[in-house]
Amino acid sequence: MKAVAYQQSLPIDAANSLVDVELPAPVAGVNDLLVAVRAISVNPVDVKVRRGVAPPTGEWKVLGWDVAGEVVGVGAAVHGFAVGDRVWYAGAINRPGANSELHAVDARIAAKMPSTLDFAQAAALPLTAITAWEILFDRLGLHAGSTGTMLVIGAAGGVGSILVQLARQLTGLTVVGTASRAETRNWLGELGAHAVVDHSLALASSLRAAGYEQADYVVSLNQTEQHFAEIVELIAPQGKFALIDDPASLNILPLKLKSVSVHWELMFTRSLFTTADLARQGELLAELAKLVDAGRVRTTLTENLGRIDAANLRRAHALIEGGKTRGKVVLAGF
């Protein structure tokens, strides 16, 4: 089968950083679906793994953890799926990625994709939606009756673009996003943010200038170290703070005075440890599909780079590394 892979961790402008290859087709296990990959999207995790994880000498490593495709095989223990189903999922980081024509995935973390989206539109959502959903409802414990103010730092990226929508649709929170460019501020307005503040300025004073004295919840999606002193200042006493990025160091002691709770989110945790609630990821993707088909949530696709090949994936990685993406970058078809 066709695939895009690498053997060395190289800068993305190196010709061999990502390569078109032919690899053996995967074999689906008893709990797996075998999926013909129709579209994929690219996330910061792809860049992090490519930069930092080299496969054993002579082997190829395939990236890709956002998929929309068609079921072509069903494992013996799988229920609820059939050949021909259109599915979406984010995969597992300890298994081969999906930048390939065929991909095997545990059926428990997959769901049927929205009927109102095409494959490219659907591929933009799974990983970021799972991350956002787990932040809001599993880590922060929010629900339909939750109120207060939430500040989302880096809200115009992939996770923020869906988190803003979910918070607006499924909670009673006032949602304030941060963005520094006109196009990203406008994007957040389209997605439903009540207000947008500039994260290139002092966040605490910017939040107050927008009419909010403090934030009951803060979700930091990037550059947490850079903004942490401001977060300490602006978060409410007994507030909740969630983050997903990888600060080199983070001294959370300053949050003690306000009794702030800290919540890490990694959407791969359930699949990495085969947790008892592993199937929850498939269930929430099914719930998300209903929200999309009802017109309450929209795709976060902003750029389709064309077919799935090494050249286009290198372009996608370069865009992610540049830190200027809005929403999600997608590739579709081989």
Q: Give pLDDT tens digits for 75-132.
A: 999 999 999 999 999 999 999 999 999 999 999 999 999 999 999 999 999 999 999 9
Structure token digits, residue 118: 């095409």
pLDDT digits (tens, 9 = 90+) for 130-177: 999 999 999 999 999 999 999 999 999 999 999 999 999 999 999 999
Confidence of residue 225 (pLDDT cuts 50, 70, 90): very high
CA distance 306 to 334: 9
What number of CA atoms fall less than 13 Å from residue 105's CA on the CB side?
35
pLDDT digits (tens, 9 = 90+) for 4-60: 999 999 999 999 999 999 999 999 999 999 999 999 999 999 999 999 999 999 999
Which CATH number applies to 2-125+269-332: 3.90.180.10, 3.40.50.720, 3.30.200.20, 3.40.50.11540? 3.90.180.10
Q: Could you give the residue range(s) of every CATH 3.40.50.720 domain in the chain?
A: 128-264
Mean pLDDT rounded to a whole number for the chain: 96
Q: What is the mean pLDDT of residues 235-260?
A: 96
Predicted TM-score (pTM) of this structure:
0.96
Q: Could you give the residue range(s) of every CATH 3.90.180.10 domain in the chain?
A: 2-125+269-332
The predicted pLDDT at position 325 comes to 83
Fold held by 128-264: Rossmann fold (3.40.50)
| C-alpha distances in Å from residue 1, one per residue of 20, 23, 162, 291 | 11, 5, 33, 34
